[in-house]
Amino acid sequence: MCTLKLPGGQTINTPNGIPCGGIDVTSNAIGNAITLMLIIAVILSLIFIIIGGLQWIQSGGDKQKVAKARARITYAIIGLIVAFVSFFIINIIGFIFHVKLI
């Protein structure tokens, strides 16, 4: 149960069952959002790697198609690396400010 302190020493109690909020709730919501975005980024990167591999297989030796497939795989791997690096940076920032985001 949360209380709201008013000037003059008066307090107001919240009814039962209402969330109080605060840094714990906020960091939990941010952490869940970051985790969800990381999962989506990893899944999308793997899908694009698979699509690039299939394009490479189906290229039939055509140099333009192979280059296009290679570029798709390269960009998917770069995206995966960026997602993981951002995850580690967020963890470092959370450690510095003593907030558990993930």
pLDDT digits (tens, 9 = 90+) for 37-63: 999 999 999 999 999 999 999 998 899
Q: Where are the domains of the chain?
A: 21-96
Task: Tell if the pTM clears 0.75, that is, is over it.
Answer: no
CB atoms within 10 A of CB 52: 20
Give pLDDT tens digits for 27-38. 788 888 988 999
Report the alpha-carbon distance of residue 73 to residue 88 in Å, rounded: 23
